[in-house]
Chains A and B, each alone.
Chain A
Amino acid sequence: MAPALLLQVPPPGIVEGGWEYVVAAYAITAAGFLIYAASVFARHRRSEEEEK
Chain B
Amino acid sequence: MILPRLASPNLAFALVALGVLLLLAGSYYGLFVSPQERYMGDVQRIMYVHVPSAWNALLLFTLAMGCALAYLWRGGWGWDAHHEALLEASAVLSFLLCVQGSIWAKPTWGVWWDWDPRLTTTAVMLLALLGILALRSAVDDPEKRATWSAVATIIAFVDVPIVYFSVRWWNSLHQMQSSPETVSAPFIVPLRLNAFGVLALMGGLALLRARVAARRTAKELGPALPPMPAGAALEA
Contact = CB atoms under 8 A, between A and B. Distances in A.
Interface size classification for chain A = 20 to 34
Contact of B92 (A13, A25, A36): A36
Contacts of A51: 215
Nearest to A22: B45
A47 B42 contact: no
Interface string B72-105: 0000000000000000010010011001100110
Given A15-B39, A21-B106, A29 B100 contact: yes
B216 A15 contact: no
Interface size classification for chain B = 35 or more
Question: Is chain A's binding surface mostly helix, strand, loop or mixed?
Answer: helix
B104 A25 contact: yes
Contacts of A26: 27, 31, 46, 49
A24 B43 CA distance: 11
A36 B89 CA distance: 9
Given A15-B41, A21-B106, A37 B205 contact: yes
B120 to A, nearest CB: 21
Contacts of B107: 15, 18, 21
B136 interface: no
Given A25-B46, A47-B216, A17 B41 contact: yes
B151 interface: no
A13 B53 CA distance: 26
B9 interface: yes
Nearest to B95: A32
A37 B103 CA distance: 23
A47 B220 CA distance: 13
B118 interface: no
Interface string A11-52: 001111111011011101100110011001101100100110
Interface of B: 9, 16, 23, 27, 31, 38-43, 45-46, 49-50, 53, 89, 92, 95-96, 99-100, 103-104, 106-108, 201, 205, 208-209, 211-212, 215-216, 219
Interface of A: 13-19, 21-22, 24-26, 28-29, 32-33, 36-37, 40-41, 43-44, 47, 50-51
10 contacts: A15-B40, A15-B108, A25-B99, A26-B31, A29-B49, A32-B99, A40-B212, A47-B211, A47-B212, A47-B216
Please list the 4 inter-chain residue pairs (A to B) with the smallest Cβ-Cβ separation, ordered nearest first.
Answer: A18-B43, A47-B215, A25-B46, A25-B103
